[in-house]
Amino acid sequence: MVASVLVVDDDVDLNRALTAQVRRAGHEVRSAFSGAEGLAQLAAQVPDAVLLDVQLGDMSGLDVLEVIRERYAGVIVILMTAQGSEDVAASGLRLGADDYLRKPFRPAALFGSLDRALAQQALLRENELLRAQAAERAADLQRELDAAARIQGALLEMAPFESVGITIHARCQPARELGGDFFDYGGSGEGRVFAVLGDVSGKGLPAALVMTLSRSLLRAALRRGTPEQALTAVNREIFTDLEAMERFVTGFVCSLDPETRLLRWSDAGHGYAVVLRGGEIVELQARHGGPPLGIVPEWEYALEETPLRPGDEVLVFSDGLLERDELRDVPEDTPLTPGETVRRLLDAVQATGGEAILDLLARGHDGNAAPARDDETALLIRVR
């Protein structure tokens, strides 16, 4: 390892001898014959290492050491001391010297000390480079996550959907920058409207990627078929990918005819859906529920039908709402069914309408509470 070395010693003969030895060892070397000259050479060009005599004519070598440590932290400093000055050398080590040599010393001792210090310096520099590269990669990743979060947020910042006698609105609060919950709604042709709420297993970027794919496939399938047909088709389409990524997707998919107010729906292992009707909470329990997408490749999902009345609200939500602060005092032996979950949340805010649940998500969590442990999503369909 070729290094640049500065020899600072006011003994002209020893200085020249050290300079010659260091040069023969293959290093680049410069000489300074006083403390002031040594500091001037340091200011002009910082070396890798300094061989520094403790007893200089114009100033103490320890004073030079203090300046080096203050201005040039990474430079190796090996002190050279005369007999009887070990206490001074110990003080130098406390001030940050890398090693010391007692005069007279053999070349082997000099280069053994120098080589060890250079190896340590190279290791430190490599570690600093690795830390800088890791920090840069982390910053790049954070920028990419921020961009992905903005894109996902834009997908889920949907204006309320208005149709004849029907309003659909939803809200999603990811637990991290990126989440796996999703929703979608809109017109599906022939005057009907559709709505979807899904929950991808896991969190973060992998869940967000699956979420985007699932949402797009379900939207396209619902424009061509009924809820159970859409789930069946998407499950077949996405099964291999989900299996490879070790993910699954729960989902509630529905369509609604504004004229007949007939809710046609299908459930893929989700289960969190209720109808709010005149102060009552009616759970939508699937008679023929199916597994989440990505579990059984050829599953044929079933269609359920629920007649709705004017004033009904259909509330679908993800299991993240079960982790809400408002439910933290629920006894462990109390089962949080979908209906019980909604009842307790509405009681906590002294409300009866589903819009209060969406408002809860908009407010987030109490500032003194722990961050959300899971994504929280709710979708509300109002029938007039």
Q: Where residue 65 falls among pLDDT bands split at 50, 70, 90? A: very high
Q: Which helix (H) or strand (E) holds 190?
A: none
Do 61 and 53 touch, CB atoms closer than 8 A? yes
| Rg, the chain, Cα only | 36
With left for phi above 0 and alpha for psi between -120 and 50, is residue 165 left, alpha or beta? left
Average pLDDT score over residue span 226-239: 97
**Phi and psi, residue 262, nearest 5°:** -95, 120
Confidence of residue 84 (pLDDT cuts 50, 70, 90): low
Q: Which domains does the chain have, with CATH numbers?
A: 4-128 (3.40.50.2300), 158-383 (3.60.40.10)
- Say if residue 370's pLDDT is above 70: no
CA distance 20 to 24: 6
Tens digit of each residue's pLDDT (9 = 90 or more) over 201-214: 988 888 888 999 99
In angstroms, the CA 153 to CA 174 distance is 9
Tens-place pLDDT, residues 117-146: 888 888 888 888 889 898 888 888 888 777
Pairing of strands 249-257, 166-173: unpaired
Cis peptide bond N-terminal to 335, omega within 30: no
* 171-197 per-position pLDDT tens digit: 998 887 788 899 999 998 778 999 999
C-beta of residue 227 within 8 angstroms of C-beta of residue 281:
no
